[in-house]
């Protein structure tokens, strides 16, 4: 079977940049780059049996920004490859682009079977109840996708595939519940097939460094931060990679001097992470690593950070979220603001750069912006980012805040737009968030 995997383009919406004062604009993030690890995982599962191609629309647009627009590139790929199955992935802000992809695939090749998976279908499958979508897969879906493609090959109906939502009588309905328990971090782990991004890997850079790739050491998160989508998607469960499997994967990444851990939190189990750091250090694998670590992990486990520095940890992305304890409590972030300062000290003592991120809630007034700016100016992080509190569709937080939502355009659910009602005039609120980006500037962007 010919399977075309399509990585959707980025959402074009960035209201922080749109309203930022000219001085701050150059520092507002406009894009994050990196390989689509989920699709590369699916490719590994499919490839021994099927002819698989990847159209990496983020990478292609970065490689040739002046080239054809994303849908024209998809049209060419569909005409040239004539796939039997088109599969794509979506986070909230990429949902509209994902639907455009599947609509074009259906209109161009009416016989093609279309399927979507990833975080947004997992959290709110109803967003994909569209005549262009034949099937929706929730969760870590490599085994289900394999079954689906096998069924298509055998000419069997999609309704014969377990654990899938399919279009039946005009609506998405579950097929038989799956009896399979998927452990995508361990038993059902597939090594992402990075050969499919060879063409665009030069676009995966971190500032001047790269090419960079992703690996994950864990899936899921135990914490319950209100704004995060990971715990609702994984029911608060965490599964860890086997250390030998991860070290082996790292040892195979000859083309990538920079590796970012794509974990929700790279230290769900500090003891495990310490063993992983030691295993990497003694394996002879030499990389510059980037991890997402919590401030309270660093303040409580300074020796762990030293071990990570010894194995190559160079940059940490740290969700500070707020400098005020009452706001941290509101976000259900189980950490104290004082941990931030302690953590930054620990990271810097180990020579690790810190990119801290603050969340700005829509009820901020001028005084709050000034207090945050004063705090951030006095703080020695290498780079700070400021995003807007956003209730991600399909999460309990979205249901809680539903009555305050003023914008339902999913392309705007990317933490860079304001979808909730503000207390300040909206344009002033956005301009003030944009202004914060001028406070600190470093020479790298992650």
Where does this chain bind ligand B12 (CB under 6 A)? 7, 10, 29, 31-34, 36-38, 41-42, 58, 87, 89, 91-93, 115-119, 137, 140-142, 144-145, 184, 214, 216, 228-230, 262-264, 392, 414-416
Comparing CB distances to ligand B12, the nearer of 200 and 284 is: 200
Closest CB to ligand B12 among residues 59, 312: 59
Confirm if 230 and 222 have CB atoms less than 8 A apart: no
Q: How far is the CB of 349 from ligand B12 (least distance, A)?
A: 26
User: For residue 114, what are the β-bridge partners?
Assistant: 86
Spatial distance between the Cα atoms of 412 and 65, rounded to a whole number of angstroms: 22
Nearer to ligand B12, 165 or 353 (CB): 165
Minimum CB–partner distance for residue 210 and ligand B12 (Å): 13
Closest CB 141 distance from ligand B12, rounded Å: 3
User: Least distance to ligand B12 from the beta carbon of 118, Å?
Assistant: 3
CA 277 from centre of chain: 23
Q: Which is nearer to ligand B12, 72 or 191 (CB)?
A: 191
CB burial of residue 244 (10 Å; 0-12, 13-18, 19+)? exposed
> Is there a contact between 193 and 43 (Cβ–Cβ < 8 Å)?
yes
- Please, what is the minimum distance in Å from the beta carbon of residue 277 to ligand B12? 19
CB of 378 to ligand B12, least distance (A): 26
Token pair recorded at residue 311: 């194995």
Element (H, E) at 383: strand 383-388
Q: Which is nearer to ligand B12, 299 or 414 (CB)?
A: 414
The two tokens of residue 174 are 């579950």
Q: In this structure, are residues 130 and 99 in contact, taking their beta carbons and an 8 Å threshold?
A: yes
Instruction: For ligand B12, give the closer residue by CB, 42 or 308.
Output: 42
Find, among 294, 224, 302, 242, the residue nearest to 266 by Cα: 294
> Closer to ligand B12 at the Cβ: 31 or 404?
31
For residue 271, the minimal CB distance to ligand B12 (Å) is: 20
| Helix, coil or strand: residue 63 | helix
Write the burial class of residue 23 (CB in 10 Å: 0-12 exposed, 13-18 middle, 19+ buried).
exposed
Gap between the Cα atoms of 263 and 222, Å rounded: 12
Q: Which residues contact 164 (CB under 8 A, 6 or more apart)?
A: 135, 136, 137, 144, 147, 148, 158, 174, 175
């Amino acid at each position: 079977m010919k399977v075309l995997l399509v990585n959707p383009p980025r959402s074009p919406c960035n209201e922080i940049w749109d309203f930022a004062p000219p001085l701050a604009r150059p520092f507002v993030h406009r894009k994050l780059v990196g390989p689509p690890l989920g699709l590369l995982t699916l490719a590994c599962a499919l490839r021994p049996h099927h002819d698989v191609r990847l159209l990496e629309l983020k990478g292609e647009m970065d490689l040739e920004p002046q080239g054809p627009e994303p849908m024209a590139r998809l049209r060419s790929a569909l005409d040239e490859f004539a796939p039997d199955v088109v599969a794509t992935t979506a986070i909230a802000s990429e949902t509209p682009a994902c639907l455009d992809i599947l609509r074009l695939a259906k209109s161009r090749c009416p016989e093609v079977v279309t399927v979507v998976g990833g975080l947004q279908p997992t959290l709110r499958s109803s967003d994909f109840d569209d005549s262009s979508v034949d099937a929706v897969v929730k969760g870590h879906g490599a085994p289900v996708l394999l079954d689906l493609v096998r069924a298509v090959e055998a000419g069997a109906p999609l309704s014969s595939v377990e654990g899938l939502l399919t279009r039946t009588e005009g609506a998405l309905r579950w097929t038989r519940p799956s009896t399979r328990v998927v452990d995508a971090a361990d038993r059902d782990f597939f090594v992402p097939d990075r050969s499919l991004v060879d063409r665009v890997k030069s676009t995966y850079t971190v500032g001047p460094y790269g090419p960079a790739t992703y690996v994950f050491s864990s899936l899921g998160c135990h914490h319950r931060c209100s704004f995060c989508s990971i715990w609702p998607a994984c029911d608060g469960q965490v599964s860890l990679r086997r250390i030998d499997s991860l070290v082996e994967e790292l040892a195979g990444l000859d083309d990538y001097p920079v590796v970012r851990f794509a974990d929700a939190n790279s230290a769900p189990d500090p003891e495990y992470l310490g063993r992983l750091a030691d295993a990497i250090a003694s394996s002879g694998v030499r990389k510059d690593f980037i991890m997402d670590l919590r401030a309270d992990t660093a303040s409580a486990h300074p020796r762990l950070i030293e071990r990570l520095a010894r194995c190559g940890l160079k940059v940490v992305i740290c969700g500070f979220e707020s400098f005020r304890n009452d706001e941290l409590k509101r976000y259900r972030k189980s950490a104290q603001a004082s941990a931030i300062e302690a953590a930054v000290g620990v990271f810097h003592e180990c020579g690790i750069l810190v990119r801290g991120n603050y969340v700005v809630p829509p009820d901020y007034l001028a005084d709050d912006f000034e207090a945050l700016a004063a705090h951030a100016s006095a703080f020695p992080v290498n780079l700070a980012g400021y995003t807007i509190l956003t209730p991600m569709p399909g999460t309990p937080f979205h249901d809680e805040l539903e009555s305050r939502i003023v914008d339902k355009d999913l392309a705007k659910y990317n933490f860079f737009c304001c979808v909730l009602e503000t207390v300040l005039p909206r344009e002033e609120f956005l301009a003030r968030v944009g202004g914060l980006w001028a406070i600190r500037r470093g020479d790298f962007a992650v």
